[in-house]
């Protein structure tokens, strides 16, 4: 099965508007693998700078969150429609930092995925277990539950626009990348879960990424695994040599 390699940078709360412009103006001069989809998920305040800097490239811009309501009295929140009008094409939903620091539940995440799809934004749906869940041997059941809850009530037609990212919490920002086998096994589990929810053929097509301390040294072996279609990259996407990961 030929799935497109997809490499996404999640900048988290880093880079100002000005820093975004100068980083991306330089980044886009790299010779990038034409067979890879490259996306930068930037802070809200950096979206216009990113869209401007990348307008003459195939690199896409994503956001890191949205709110599930249409509009109204939700101080501080940003809607799917607002993002879509700004030229955003992707949006990260359900990142473990939002689940743990901002109390996002599976139910909230499901509503956000639906709202993103309504506005033709491609959700980058994140899932991942804690170290203690892995030590207790419940990681596979836990991830399957996260995936099923997030995709609840979503049609196959809509689900085609979703990218799934497996990011074990113990691997995020720790320098402890999961082994190729650990990452592959969970991505395969997720793919099988999608096949059960929809149809076999669709499960083969959906893009599934690994995230958690991906760097220039670990990327190429991870990306060679059969069920890993690329990466969701945090700190290493803030460095000039992120292109090495894209080309891995």
**CB 169 to ligand 13P: min, Å:** 9
| Nearest residue (CB) to ligand 13P, 58 versus 173 | 173
| Nearest residue (CB) to ligand 13P, 166 versus 198 | 166
Catalytic positions: 95, 167
First to last CA, the chain: 19
**CB 62 to ligand 13P: min, Å:** 11
Angle between helices 139-150 and 180-197 (to 10 degrees): 40
**CB 144 to ligand 13P: min, Å:** 20
| Nearest residue (CB) to ligand 13P, 117 versus 178 | 178
Binding site for ligand 13P (CB under 6 A): 10, 95, 167, 172-173, 211-214, 232-236
Closest by CA position to 4, among listed 177, 229, 190, 171: 229
Strands 5-10 and 207-211: unpaired
Q: How far is residue 118's CA from residue 104's CA, in Å, rounded to a whole number? A: 20
Q: How far is residue 122's CA from residue 71's CA, in Å, rounded to a whole number? A: 20
| Residue found by looking up tokens 């811009």 in the block | 61
Q: How far is residue 112's CA from residue 80's CA, in Å, rounded to a whole number? A: 9
Q: How far is residue 137's CA from residue 135's CA, in Å, rounded to a whole number? A: 5
Length of the chain: 248
| Nearest residue (CB) to ligand 13P, 113 versus 198 | 113
**CB 10 to ligand 13P: min, Å:** 4
| Nearest residue (CB) to ligand 13P, 151 versus 169 | 169
Position closest to ligand 13P via CB:
234
Q: How far is residue 231's CA from residue 212's CA, in Å, rounded to a whole number? A: 9
**CB 64 to ligand 13P: min, Å:** 9
Strands 90-93 and 36-41: unpaired
């Amino acid at each position: 099965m030929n799935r497109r390699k997809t490499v996404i940078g999640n900048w988290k709360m880093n880079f100002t508007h000005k820093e975004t412009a100068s980083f991306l103006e330089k980044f886009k001069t790299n010779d990038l693998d034409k067979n890879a989809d490259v996306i930068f998920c930037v802070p809200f305040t950096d979206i216009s700078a990113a869209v401007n800097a990348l307008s003459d490239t195939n690199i896409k811009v994503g956001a890191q969150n949205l709110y599930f309501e249409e509009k109204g009295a939700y101080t501080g929140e940003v809607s799917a429609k607002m993002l879509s009008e700004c030229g955003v094409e992707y949006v990260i939903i359900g990142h473990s930092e939002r689940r743990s620091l901002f109390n996002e539940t599976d139910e909230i995440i499901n509503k956000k995925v639906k709202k993103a799809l309504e506005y033709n934004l491609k959700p980058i749906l994140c899932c991942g277990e804690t170290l203690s869940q892995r030590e207790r041997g419940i990681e596979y059941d836990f991830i399957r539950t996260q995936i099923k809850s997030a995709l609840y009530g979503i049609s196959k037609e809509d689900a085609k626009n979703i990218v799934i990212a497996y990011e074990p919490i113990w691997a995020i920002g720790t320098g402890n990348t999961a082994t190729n086998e650990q990452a592959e096994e969970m991505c395969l589990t997720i793919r099988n879960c999608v096949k059960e929810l929809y149809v076999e053929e669709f499960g083969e097509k959906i893009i599934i990424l690994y995230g958690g301390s991906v760097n220039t040294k670990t990327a190429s072996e991870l990306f060679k695994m059969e069920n890993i279609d690329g990466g969701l990259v945090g700190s290493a996407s803030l460095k000039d040599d992120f292109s090495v990961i894209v080309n891995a």
